[in-house]
């Protein structure tokens, strides 16, 4: 074939995708239990493998996993997740600022954090609390002050600004589990004068926020109604903005990221991707996946973009909420989105489609673990042929050329994809695989 255009890349990442087999699900994982014919068809029509998002045996966070997958080494570049969360929430960051990924939480009079996430429905009643702390000056540390903005659910981003003596080289206040004592912030290096100063400032901020929130009308009313009050802000993952080459400079691909989850959107902003706000995209179970898909396709079909990234948070939330049912439902909802893609007529471009995740969040544990995640890659032409869907003229011409891009795996899950031709590989190699395939299909 002459005059072929390089295909566009559509990358769908299901946060917390991986799990383990349980008796509750008849010795299957939620992914195995799910009815996902369109994901299975991607596996059948393409190439598969399993991926260690950062490295073998490491339980990683979404931020470090995404960094590694996008080609930014978290071991040398990572400066905390707070900057991503804050930028993703809509607060710009400058050199010298620090920021936190924050939870509104509930603490008792003995400084025991009874509930780290006060209420997943916090945004329905708690937004005035965020407005009340925005612009707060830190007593005893003038001219430092904070900016605060809602992210999603019970989360907000908080930026500390006003001087040049701040560093992210400190711990946070989050005890990481309910019913443990609030942590005091400490310098990670007691010889680092900036870290010692920053730790003192942040401890004052934590105390000041608690005293302020205790007095707010919303919390006083909730207390009267015997409801948990949002009387604490957990200051987590202190971060500074990264100064790194853009995604386009690194990969020669112009990228768009569809990610309502603030921490992921903030990473996209950091590496220079377009990060449009999509109507109905919430980063939760009720998120409108169809709108997310259509926004990505608009960029890829009608604008000069080569790489579309769709982030799905619901699968991870289900793991953290310890719900096999919600995890299965979330996978099946993603499959419906992929069905919509497969059945779209009139696409002007050929596409490489990649589906995977960033880490495992087993629902029986409710937290991240270290297992590898499944990966499947195909072309839209092979995929539609597998599904017996009608091909346009250009896709029919591509069939013979793309026939070799296939292995023998029949299902998309943690077990089956481990038998694929990609084998087991580290996350930083995935973009290289996609770029090599794109180059092969363009030549």
Residue 40, pLDDT score? 97
**Residues sharing a CB contact under 8 Å with residue 182, sequence separation 6 or more, in sequence order:** 107, 111, 112, 113, 173, 175, 206, 232
Using an 8 Å Cβ cutoff, are 178 and 113 in contact? yes
Residue 404, pLDDT score? 61
pLDDT at 20 over 70: yes
| Residue 100 half-sphere exposure toward CB, CA atoms < 13 A | 28
Using an 8 Å Cβ cutoff, are 48 and 412 in contact? yes
Q: How far is CA 144 from CA 98, 160, 357, in A?
A: 11, 7, 39
CA distance 46 to 405: 6
Helix (H, G, I), strand (E, B) or coil at 17: strand
Task: Write the pLDDT tens digit of every residue in 212-262.
Answer: 999 999 999 999 999 999 999 999 999 998 889 999 999 999 999 999 998
Domain ranges of the chain: 8-79+245-442, 83-239
pLDDT at 405 over 70: no
CA distance 370 to 54: 10
Per-residue pLDDT band at 1 (split at 50, 70, 90): very low
| Residue 312 half-sphere exposure toward CB, CA atoms < 13 A | 30
Helix (H, G, I), strand (E, B) or coil at 218: helix
CA distance 103 to 118: 8
Q: Which CATH number fits domain 8-79+245-442: 3.40.720.10, 3.90.1150.10, 3.30.1490.20, 3.30.70.370?
A: 3.40.720.10
Tokens representing 421? Answer: 């031709």
pLDDT at 44 over 90: yes
Closest CA to 238 of 193, 176, 165, 185: 185
CA distance 349 to 380: 10
In the block, tokens 């009874």 appear at 114
Residue 400, pLDDT score? 53
CA distance 141 to 42: 56
Using an 8 Å Cβ cutoff, are 395 and 23 in contact? no
Residue 399, pLDDT score? 55
Strands (E), 227-293: 232-239, 255-258
CA distance 293 to 336: 11
Closest CA to 376 of 332, 336, 422: 422
Closest CA to 201 of 185, 189, 214: 185
Per-residue pLDDT band at 346 (split at 50, 70, 90): confident
CA distance 367 to 360: 8
């Amino acid at each position: 074939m002459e005059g072929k255009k390089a295909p566009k890349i559509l990358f769908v990442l299901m946060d917390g995708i991986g799990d383990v087999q349980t008796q509750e699900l008849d010795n299957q994982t939620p992914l195995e239990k799910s009815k996902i014919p369109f994901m299975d068809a991607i596996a059948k029509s393409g190439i598969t493998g399993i991926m260690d998002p950062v490295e073998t045996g490491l339980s990683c966070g979404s931020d470090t996993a995404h960094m590694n997958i996008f080609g930014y080494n978290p071991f040398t570049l990572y400066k905390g997740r707070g900057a991503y969360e804050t930028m993703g929430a809509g607060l710009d960051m400058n050199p010298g600022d620090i920021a936190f990924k924050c939870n509104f939480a509930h603490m008792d009079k003995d400084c025991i954090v009874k509930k780290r996430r006060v209420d997943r429905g916090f945004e329905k009643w708690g937004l005035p609390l965020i407005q009340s702390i925005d612009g707060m000056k830190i007593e005893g540390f003038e001219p430092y002050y904070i900016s605060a903005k809602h992210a999603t659910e019970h989360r907000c981003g908080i930026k500390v600004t006003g001087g040049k003596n701040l560093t992210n080289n400190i711990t946070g206040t989050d005890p990481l589990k309910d019913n443990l004592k609030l942590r005091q912030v400490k310098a990670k290096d007691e010889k680092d004068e900036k870290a010692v100063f920053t730790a003192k400032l942040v401890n004052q901020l934590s105390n000041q926020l608690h005293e302020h929130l205790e007095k707010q009308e919303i919390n006083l009313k909730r207390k009267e109604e015997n409801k948990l009050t949002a009387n604490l802000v957990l200051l987590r993952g202190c971060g500074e903005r990264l100064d790194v080459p853009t995604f386009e400079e690194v990969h020669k691909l112009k990228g768009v990221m569809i990610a309502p989850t603030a921490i992921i959107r903030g990473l996209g902003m950091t590496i220079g991707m377009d990060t449009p706000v999509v109507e109905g995209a919430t980063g939760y179970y009720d998120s409108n996946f169809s709108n997310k898909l259509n926004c990505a396709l608009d960029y890829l079909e009608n604008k000069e973009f080569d790489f579309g990234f769709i982030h799905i948070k619901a699968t991870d939330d289900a793991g953290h909420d310890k719900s096999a049912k919600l995890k299965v439902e979330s996978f099946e909802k993603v499959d419906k989105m992929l069905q919509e893609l497969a059945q779209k007529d009139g696409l002007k471009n050929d596409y490489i489609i990649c589906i995977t995740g960033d880490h495992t969040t087993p629902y029986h544990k409710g937290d991240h673990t270290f297992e590898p995640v499944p990966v499947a890659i195909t072309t839209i032409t092979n995929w539609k042929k597998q599904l017996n869907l009608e091909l346009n003229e250009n896709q029919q011409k591509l069939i013979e050329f793309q026939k070799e891009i296939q292995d023998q795996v029949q299902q998309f899950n943690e077990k089956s994809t481990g038998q694929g031709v990609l084998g087991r590989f580290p996350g930083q190699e995935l973009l290289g695989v996609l770029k090599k395939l794109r180059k092969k299909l363009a030549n």
